[in-house]
Structure 1
Amino acid sequence: MDKDNDTVDKETAPETNSSTPTAGWSDKLAELVAWFEANPNLPEKIEPIVMLRFLKCTAFDVERTKSLVELNYSMRNKNPHLFMDRNMEDEMTAKGLKVSDLLVLPGVTPEGNKLIFFRMADLDPRTRNSVEETKIFVMMSDARFTRPDVEREPGSGADYVLDEADIAEGDVQIVDIGGYTLRHLAHVSIFVLRVYMKFLQEAYPSRLQAMHVINCPSYLDKLISMMSPFLREEVRNMIKYHTEGLESLYRDVPRDMLPDEYGGKAGSVAELKARGIQSIRDNATYLSDERYWKVASQSKSRWSWF
């Protein structure tokens, strides 16, 4: 792929660590939803709360939001095996859910960020499947994006009024690589990794604020060398490797928000995982409805080279 085409302008990519006035966001949201539904290079429908996430991700800049949205759906349609061909009853997906723990932790941090946690549940390298792991992450994210990040009082859902303040400022990822060996690297698809990292860094409707890697192995330098070509410098600089226990992690994220097994009070990994899987099941119709994801024609898309 041409190098120039392979790098998206920083004005298009999601912002990191940005804060701007939000006045007039509801009018901008209405404008963007109307633009989306009239655009032949986009799917038929989008949930307003999902569009609001795109808008907040770009610091409420309408034109940059349009570019981000176009890139997101172009990448989805160019890689349907990762972003669109999803079925909870699929045997490979069910296996992927079993061997990996992907958790959206409850609440938001004092800075207004959402915590996302990942670890391997089965350490056998032969169980790794880059396609299914990516698919599950996107399914869980798409399900999560249909509801506020700031949790509401029980029973308030029916009366909920969309509010940009209920959308997280961004995501903080925590990745436990305990038990990860060089054999696991052999089972990583470079193509899938490249697409996933591009999507996460340049097309994802939530700003990546930080990434914490815990339980790091002795060969950490080799892992970093493998990942570096796929990371923008800005993202590389926000990754923190915790090599001596979890005390340093507790200084960066609220300890109480972590799973019980990691010294927190959010609930056990099994409980949190079950909640995430149920969220996907509850949104199964939405996740499989092509009207929200499939682009009928991309002939005019500026991102058609993906």
Structure 2
Amino acid sequence: MTIRPLTPELAEKARVELNEDPNRIAKDVQHIKDWLAKQPHIRARTDDQWLVAFLRGCKFSLERTKEKLDIFYSLHTLAPELFNVKVNDALFKEILDLGTYTILPKTATPTSPVVTVIRPGTYDPDKYKLYDIFSVSILLQNMLLIDNDNMTVAGVQTILDLEGVTMGHFLQMTPSVMKRMAVLSQDAAPVRMKGTHYINTPPGFETVFNAIKSLLNEKNRSRLYVHNKNYDEMYKFIPQEILPTEYGGKAGTFKEINEYWKKKVQHYNSWLEDGVKYGTDESKRPGKPKSAETLFGVEGSFRQLDFD
């Protein structure tokens, strides 16, 4: 088995919050591998660290892990637009350079969530599709699932900076786009969402915010925070020292942070490139094949999100 051992602090958090037992991990991973081998319709990664990320995302429930993996790979086939940009595409590097999606290199404490920053105002909605931006963020998140134990154990906090957002950006957030992104985030990705912090909110933001809230259950509505220009309020949740210079922090500029991730991507390049091989063949699925309608429901209606 090639599973990276956790630090003592993260191991304790994983034990208490995720039911992780180091003595059982190898057996659980093997169980999932054996199950995948018997699924004629799923083409899946079987690296140990990758499967551990899914087990952690499901608190080591084997049944939930199987369900999540099935949905994750079904999405590759039934919503390919979410995975449109490949790591060696010129568009990948272009979007990375924009800094629309940035992962902060440090966490507040050894057991804190990873912090990501989304700045839609940095891309031109006439030039780039929201799906392309999302594709790039998925590739980076996949890399972190095998590279960063804070991501798989402690989860993710997000800063959504709406500085410079225009009506063109909002018009890209159609029900169809939101549902696909929601199903990936809720049902497929093995990541615990630990809070979203909205800053620099524009006029009319309340309408979008209320639409987002309507997708969430009570627990997750309580994890939405609107700080607007009040960075001091944000610092109570995300310490100033781990934030970029642009937010009064000490982690370097967005440009410097993104250069760090570009180097990291090079290290994982062939692993990320490999991702194009995986998905499902619905014609081989035992029982009824999945369709876009079974995953996303009828157009115009939202599934309620239930993050952990």
Residue 73 (structure 1) shift: 1.2
Residue 233 (structure 1) shift: 4.3
Greater helix content = 2
Q: Would you say the 8 A contact 1:130–1:193 is kept in 2?
A: no
Residue 218 (structure 1) shift: 2.8
Which residue of 265, 285, 304 corresponds with 1:299? 285
Normalised to the residue count of structure 1, the TM-score between the two structures is 0.78
Q: Would you say the 8 A contact 1:125–1:183 is kept in 2?
A: yes
Identify unmatched segments of 5+ residues in structure 1: 1-17, 151-165
- Which residue is equivalent to 1:277? 262
- Which residue is equivalent to 1:75? 75
- Which residue is equivalent to 1:258? 243
Q: Which deviates more, 205-214 or 96-105?
A: 96-105
Q: Distance in 2 between matches of 1:187 and 1:21?
A: 39
Q: Distance in 1 between matches of 2:289 and 2:202?
A: 38
Offset from partner CA, 1:7-30 (integer Å, 9 cap, x none): xxxxxxxxxxx8143222332122
Q: Distance in 2 between matches of 1:120 and 1:127?
A: 13
Q: Distance in 1 between matches of 2:131 and 2:59?
A: 31
Percentage of pairs with the same residue: 20
Offset from partner CA, 1:71-122 (integer Å, 9 cap, x none): 1111222112222x43244354444334442112123343431111111363
Q: Distance in 2 between matches of 1:108 and 1:29?
A: 28
Offset from partner CA, 1:31-58 (integer Å, 9 cap, x none): 2233223422321532211111111111
- Which residue is equivalent to 1:37? 37
Q: Distance in 1 between matches of 2:252 and 2:33?
A: 37
Q: Which deviates more, 44-53 or 86-95?
A: 86-95
- Which residue is equivalent to 2:160? 175
Q: Distance in 1 between matches of 2:274 and 2:280?
A: 12
Q: Distance in 1 between matches of 2:187 and 2:77?
A: 16
Which residue of 198, 202, 226 corresponds with 1:217? 202
Residue 196 (structure 1) shift: 0.8
Number of residues of Structure 1 aligned to a counterpart in Structure 2: 273
Residue 229 (structure 1) shift: 4.5
Residue 122 of structure 2 aligns to a residue whose secondary structure is coil
Letter of the 1:300 partner, please give it.
Answer: P
Which residue of 233, 239, 243 corresponds with 2:224? 239
Q: Which deviates more, 41-50 or 167-176?
A: 41-50
Offset from partner CA, 1:181-240 (integer Å, 9 cap, x none): 334212334322220122112211111111111112232212213434444444333111
- Which residue is equivalent to 1:145? 145
- Distance change (3 Å), C-alpha of 1:124 and 1:135: closer
Q: Would you say the 8 A contact 1:149–1:168 is kept in 2?
A: yes
Residue 174 of structure 1 aligns to a residue whose secondary structure is strand
- Which residue is equivalent to 1:122? 122
Q: Distance in 2 between matches of 1:226 and 1:112?
A: 29
Residue 146 of structure 2 aligns to a residue whose secondary structure is coil
Residue 19 of structure 1 aligns to a residue whose secondary structure is helix
Map 1:83-122 → 2, pairs under 5 A: 83=83, 85-110=84-109, 111-120=111-120, 122=122
Q: Would you say the 8 A contact 1:102–1:273 is kept in 2?
A: no
Letter of the 2:286 partner, please give it.
Answer: K
Q: Would you say the 8 A contact 1:119–1:177 is kept in 2?
A: yes
Letter of the 1:275 partner, please give it.
Answer: Y
- Distance change (3 Å), C-alpha of 1:278 and 1:229: farther
Residue 134 (structure 1) shift: 1.1
Residue 197 of structure 1 aligns to a residue whose secondary structure is helix
Q: Would you say the 8 A contact 1:257–1:266 is kept in 2?
A: yes
Q: Distance in 2 between matches of 1:130 and 1:265?
A: 30
Map 1:51-66 → 2, pairs under 5 A: 51-66=51-66
Q: Is residue 19 from structure 1 mapped to residue 17 from structure 2 by the alignment? A: yes
Q: Distance in 1 between matches of 2:248 and 2:115?
A: 15
Q: Would you say the 8 A contact 2:246–2:254 is kept in 1?
A: yes
Normalised to the residue count of structure 2, the TM-score between the two structures is 0.78
